Amino acid sequence: MIDTLLRKIDAMKNPTVVGLDPTLEMMPAHLKAEMFEKCGKNPEAVGKMFLKFNKDIIDSIEDIVPAVKPQIAMYEKYGLEGMKAYLETIEYANQKGMIVIGDIKRGDISSTAAAYAAHIEGTEIEGESFDLWKEDWVTINPYLGIDGIQPFIDACNKKDRGVFVLVKTSNPSSSQLQDIVVNNKTIYETVAELVKEWGTQSMGTMGYSRIGAVVGATHKEQGEKLRAMMPHTFFLVPGYGAQGGTGADLKGFFDKDGRGCIVNSSRGIIAAYKKNDKYGEKVGEAARDAAISMKADLQY
């Protein structure tokens, strides 16, 4: 899957992933009206809106963007109906040949992490396999150390899928823990070293590991330092666009061949229709234009 991701980015010349993080506020009026009429004002209606909205985005970008990243929290907010929309979104993106990064940030002790690893590995029942979540990649949290990570590494090896471990997140208060310095090294650098080491257990054939890292676009210098520290670790880079990161900030996150990263934009793409009246409620058209601009911004 790391090889597939690299090849797909190369082929499209576009290291972008579109974050499918829908909110009710983001839905166009006609779609809200349609689903509320059909289902009532309830979670089922919201789930159906999210799915239709996501399909519109996917249809509009699938030929120019290699991957999507649904943020599970946005769906979990609407309970089971939301989770259903999350799963159906993934299924649809899979059908269209897009790579799916499930932004789930799970993390727990070993036996529990093994259960969460079903996101990657699937689930066995009486000898039969069920791939119930279908993400190609997921994000995971390192606070509990290696025994919460190992089940995911094993699953990645088994299924040729991948994970991105949180190293340096894009939010302002990421500094509270992640930037604490100990022996001239920050906590996020300590995590980076662990991720690098863990990654050796699961190398692809093109120089990068299936065990990647989340490195926020909002931290230019840290990203450059991490790129140098972790030459075989692929980065998922959130925080571009709405959170403040720009293409110019990110040059140093890539390796000398212009590889090694996939940069996420969520609101900047999927809610682009709200930024310019000319789009009206044409969500997909605006998303495609925004994705084309982002691609241009990321050519070095």
Which sequence positions are flagged as catalytic? 105
Give yes or no for residue 142 binding its own copies (CB under 8 A). yes
Q: Which of positions 58-77 make contact with its own copies (CB under 8 A)?
A: 71, 73-74, 76-77
C-alpha to C-alpha distance for 125 and 36, rounded to whole angstroms: 38
Q: Which of 50, 78, 92, 152 binds its own copies (CB under 8 A)?
A: 78
* Helix or strand (DSSP H, E) at 17: strand 16-20
C-alpha to C-alpha distance for 234 and 212, rounded to whole angstroms: 5
Sign of CA dihedral 4, 8, 14, 19: negative
The least distance separating its own copies from the CB of residue 149, rounded to whole angstroms, comes to: 8
Q: Which has the closest alpha carbon to 232: 264, 205, 196, 198? A: 196
Give yes or no for residue 123 binding its own copies (CB under 8 A). yes
Q: Are 189 and 181 contacting, i.e. CB atoms less than 8 angstroms apart?
A: no
Q: Which of 1, 12, 64, 144 binds its own copies (CB under 8 A)?
A: 144
Give yes or no for residue 29 binding its own copies (CB under 8 A). no
The least distance separating its own copies from the CB of residue 257, rounded to whole angstroms, comes to: 30
Q: Are 135 and 100 contacting, i.e. CB atoms less than 8 angstroms apart?
A: yes
Q: Which of 94, 112, 201, 293 binds its own copies (CB under 8 A)?
A: 112
Give yes or no for residue 54 binding its own copies (CB under 8 A). no
* Binding segment (CB under 8 A) for its own copies, from list 3-11, 137-145, 273-281, 284-292: 137-145
* Helix or strand (DSSP H, E) at 75: helix 72-76
Give yes or no for residue 94 binding its own copies (CB under 8 A). no
C-alpha to C-alpha distance for 150 and 225, rounded to whole angstroms: 26
Q: How would DSSP label each residue in 260-281? A: SEEEEESHHHHTGGGG-GGGTT
Q: Which of 11, 25, 29, 173 binds its own copies (CB under 8 A)?
A: 173
Q: What is residue 238's three-state secondary structure?
A: coil
Q: Which of 13, 91, 95, 180 binds its own copies (CB under 8 A)?
A: 180
Give yes or no for residue 27 binding its own copies (CB under 8 A). no
Decide whether 157 or 175 has the Cβ nearer to its own copies.
Answer: 175
Q: What is residue 138's three-state secondary structure?
A: strand
Give yes or no for residue 254 binding its own copies (CB under 8 A). no
Give yes or no for residue 30 binding its own copies (CB under 8 A). no
Distances from the Cα of 39 to the Cα of 31, 33, 43, 46, 49, angstroms: 12, 10, 9, 9, 10
* Binding segment (CB under 8 A) for its own copies, from list 110-118, 252-260, 273-281, 292-300: 110-118
Q: Which of 51, 166, 230, 298 binds its own copies (CB under 8 A)?
A: 166
The least distance separating its own copies from the CB of residue 123, rounded to whole angstroms, comes to: 5
Residue ranges in 96-186 assigned as alpha helix (H)? 110-116, 118-121, 150-159, 175-178
C-alpha to C-alpha distance for 99 and 41, rounded to whole angstroms: 32
Give yes or no for residue 244 binding its own copies (CB under 8 A). no
Contacts with its own copies, residue ranges (CB under 8 A): 21, 23-24, 36, 41-43, 45-46, 71, 73-74, 76-80, 83-84, 87, 103, 105-110, 112-113, 115-116, 118-119, 123, 125-126, 128, 130, 132-133, 141-148, 166, 169-178, 180-182, 187, 190-191, 194, 238
